[in-house]
Amino acid sequence: MTSGYYIQHHLTNLTFGPMEKGWGFAHSAEDIAEMGFWAMHVDSLFWSFALGALFVWFFSRVAKKVTAGVPGTTQGFVEMIINFVDENVSSSFSAKNDTIAPLALTIFCWIFLMNLMDLVPVDLIPWLLSKIGIEYQKVVPSTDPNVTFGMSLSVFALMVYYSVKNKGAGGFAAELTMHPFESKNIVMKILFIPINFFLEFVGLIAKPVSHSLRLFGNMYAGEMIFILISLMYGSSIILSMSGGALQFVWAVFHILVITLQAFIFMVLTIVYMDMAHSHH
């Protein structure tokens, strides 16, 4: 196995979709290209749903056993996370909406768990699954732009929904067309509408794009570094030992990265929801 093939193999999703011979799993880049839009990344879907289910199960299990007395270690840990999220919502969200805090909690915990998969040795799960005939396996869902865009577009849809709900269709349209350029002259006001709309629409569309690409780019780069360090193993004893030391150092640093990326995605979601509830 060449270094190039090793890297390409680890960055290829287990893909399922329609081909000329029927629906099935892709075995090459040509198969994936043939599937087109309907290509589904089965590994990203599986791990993201599995980690989401783990979050729901763990928090609901703690909630059922919660006590008003001295909390145990598990309850204290969950309460610490909830208080952390609640403080961020209280400081960044000025309106009244009981959906925002649970949304922020879900986003933070779910993305953190997906990012945490980056600390699993890059060869472990793919090697185990290869024993049962599964050729490709990417276990970090947040390194898949389909996943990050799915989450950011969901937040964007909620932002548009609450904007229209709180301000009305006319109020939301006015936000996109009546500023930053304003005038009391009716002719100038009409002339400013397309200019304002272009500027505001670009800013509006940039929100889900930057929201998703920030998470994807950081996690993809982190996973790539883990894969590149793994190439050092097997070359020589010195390179293998050096690779082990580098993996450890990068993993320790990456704990901060995966937490920070989950936090940033959550904070931006809260800010976007606050903007959807604010009246100009």
pLDDT digits 0-9 by tens, 176-196: 888 888 888 888 888 888 999
**81 with 105: CB under 8 angstroms?**
yes
Residue in this structure with the two tokens 């993305």, named with its chain if needed: 111
Region 110-119 average pLDDT: 95
Residue 137: is its pLDDT beyond 80? yes
CA-nearest of 117, 97, 100 to 52 is 117
pLDDT, residue 36, reads 86
Dist CA 104 CA 36 (whole Å): 33
* Active site (catalytic) residues: 210, 214, 218
pLDDT, residue 280, reads 67
CA-nearest of 271, 143, 270, 148 to 209 is 148
**In what helix (H) or strand (E) does residue 254 lie, and over which residues does it extend?**
helix 237-277
Mean pLDDT, the chain, rounded, equals 91
Dist CA 148 CA 86 (whole Å): 23
CA-nearest of 8, 10, 1 to 138 is 10
In the chain, where are the structural domains located?
44-277
With the CA atoms of 105, 107, 112 and 113 taken in that order, what torsion angle do they form, in degrees rounded to the nearest 10?
100
State CA 144 to chain mean position distance.
Answer: 9
Query: 243 pLDDT band (50/70/90 cuts)?
Result: confident
Dist CA 148 CA 141 (whole Å): 8
Which of left, alpha, beta for 36 (phi over 0: left; psi -120 to 50: alpha)? left
Region 138-163 average pLDDT: 95
Residue 69: is its pLDDT beyond 70? yes
CA-nearest of 59, 64, 115, 116 to 85 is 59
